[in-house]
Structures are given as C-alpha cells and as structure tokens.
Amino acid sequence: MAVLAAGTLALDDVVTDEGSVSGVPGGSALYFTAAASLFTVVRLVGIIGDDFPREELDFLRERSVNLDNLTQLQGEKTFRWGARYETDMNIRRPFRRELNVSEHFDPILDDAGRNADIVFLANLEPAHQLRVLDQMTAPRFRALDTMECYIRDDPDGLKKVIERCELLFVNDSEARIITGEVNLLKAARKLLGMGPRYVLLKKGDHGSMLVAPDFTFAAPAYPVETVVDPTGAGDSFAGGVMGYLAREESCGPDDLKKAVVYGSVAASFCVEDFSIRKLKKITLADIEARMALFRSMTTW
Ligand code: AMP
C-alpha cells in the first residue's frame, strides 16, 4: 500500500560539534520519504525551486517515489532553513528560515493522491495540512506531525488537523506546550481528548511512547555511538513507522507497536550523517539487521 506524504523539501545549513554543511537537501517530507521509501511506495506532496539538486530527485525516483504531486517552480528558490546544535544535541538554535517557494504552496492532489489509504502530514503549516486532508476521498489512516512554530502561530488550525487524524506524532516539549501538562502521560491523555486514537510522543534520544486510551507502549531510542546531525530524526522516525504500517497494510495496536520500533531504527541511521546521506545508502536489510540487534538489547 502506498503512503501519501505532504511536507517541506528544503535546503539546510547545519552546524554540529561533528562539522557543518550548507545547502544540503532536507525538509520534513524529504527525511520522511527517505525512510518510508525503504518499505513502500511514497507519493510525495511538496514544492521545490529550480535550485533543488537533480541528483536528489533521481535518488527519489530510484526508490520508486511517485513525484506526480511534487511542484517545481522555475526561477524560484527552495525553502531554506539553518540551525546550530549545542553539544547537548537536544538543544537546537535555528538561525535561518526563508520560505521562498513555500509561500506559493497550494497542494493540489491528483486522483491517485486523493484516493490514498494512508496519509502522513509532515511538518507543514496547518492550513496546508488541512488542504491535503480536504481533498482525500476515504483515507483509512491519517497521521500528522507538528512543531512549535505552528503550535504558536496557528493553534486553531492545528487543532482542526489533530481532530481529523488517527495518529499524532509530537515531541515532549510540544506536547507540554499544547496541553499545559508537565507530566507526559497526562499530556498524552489530553491530546487523545482532542480526537486522535493514538499519540506518539517523541523524546529524542530518550525514545518514544505510544499512548492509546487502553494501552501504553514505550520504546527506547536505538543507541548510536556518534550522532553527527540529529536533523530529521523525528521525520525519519515517522517514515519508519508509517512505511512499515503501509507495507503491512494494517494499522492495529500490535502493528503500531512494531512500527514504533522500526521508526526508532530508521531514525538511528538518519542521525549518523548529515542530511539524508546515510538513509540514501542503506537498504531494508540494514534496517532488519538493526531490528534484530535492537530485539536482543531489549529482551530478557
Ligand atoms: P526535525 O529535525 O525533525 O525537526 O526536522 C528538521 C527538518 O525540517 C529540516 O530539514 C528543515 O528543513 C525542516 N523544517 C525546519 N523548519 C520547518 C518548518 N517550520 N516547517 C516544516 N519543516 C521545517
């Protein structure tokens, strides 16, 4: 089963203790797709300028990503974003944000996109996320991610998207801001009250927690010795989760628990290099090998 993914495609500038890069491919939808396309066909919804590297589009085609809903505007620049990470990589200081083509974004889906069964709304303005949802005919499973700027700038729009999705990906600090609850389990319960069937709390290198009304499932982050760049960890985590669900064509509680572990493994590869470099190099066999190691680390 294919997964429809809408989000940003970007050129990023990133500085960490391990080095720095400038103008490398990024964006919430690109990281998501680089991970999800290991599992299934992704229909990518987004916008880029004519400066977006051709070899990245070639890579997406090689991974069988469908680009029919990707708009490229000639004479325009791709969304640009930059951030510097502290030695504690949970602390990120953004220093650049240029909307460029994103200002003209109006996602219009083709027939195959409208009829998709599974949809992931990656970090994107809530108005655009809603625009995608409004065009879908009968999706079986809808998931969204969000970030602090959208919680601050358009809380009402965001609430409307959350209400209409089955699964909310949210990091710990965002969950606290939305709900006003410090305790994460309480925050998750409040978020469930807003409409979704599941809340998936991301806690950076502390792992993740899937919360439903009738169960809680906690997974550690896969331990990585050298984190080069944590950018896109959340998006590639979501790519592993949604890619696995789409491949299994099933989104029940047990599928979701296993999907969370696949997500952790996908994210662990993402952070081992800048941009999507590592995610481009790996195959599903690498994911499965790390799944087996992960199992041996967490079973007793
Ligand atoms: P993450 O580390 O999971 O927050 O994802 C970082 C990626 O999201 C980078 O590649 C950025 O280009 C992209 N990004 C940064 N700010 C935004 C934003 N406001 N909306 C959507 N994507 C963004």
DSSP class of residue 78 equals P
- Strands 10-16 and 19-26, by their bridges, are antiparallel
Instruction: Report the separation in Å between the CA atom of 70 and the middle of ligand 1, taken as the mean of its atom positions.
Output: 18
**pLDDT, position 153:** 96
Give the model's pLDDT for residue 241.
98
For the CA of 149, the nearest atom of ligand 1:
19
Within 6 A (CB) of ligand 1 lie: 8, 10, 12, 26-28, 81, 123-124, 147, 149, 231-235
What pTM was estimated for this model as a whole? 0.97
Partners of 43 in beta bridges: 4, 66
What pLDDT band is residue 113 in, cutting at 50, 70 and 90? Answer: very high
Distance 122 CA to ligand 1 centre (A): 9
pLDDT tens digits for range 148-175: 999 999 999 999 999 999 999 999 999 9
Q: Where are the domains of the chain?
A: 3-297
Query: Residue 252 and residue 162: Cα distance in Å, rounded?
Result: 19
pLDDT in tens, 171-224: 999 999 999 999 999 999 999 999 999 999 999 889 999 999 999 999 999 999
Is the separation of the CB atoms in 63 and 37 below 8 Å? yes
Give which of 33, 19, 78 is closest to 232, Cα–Cα.
33
In this prediction, residue 37 carries a pLDDT of 98
**pLDDT interval class at 134 (50, 70, 90):** very high
Q: Considering the domain 3-297 in this protein, what is its CATH number?
A: 3.40.1190.20
pLDDT band at 133 (very low <50, low <70, confident <90, very high): very high
Q: What is the pLDDT of residue 125?
A: 96
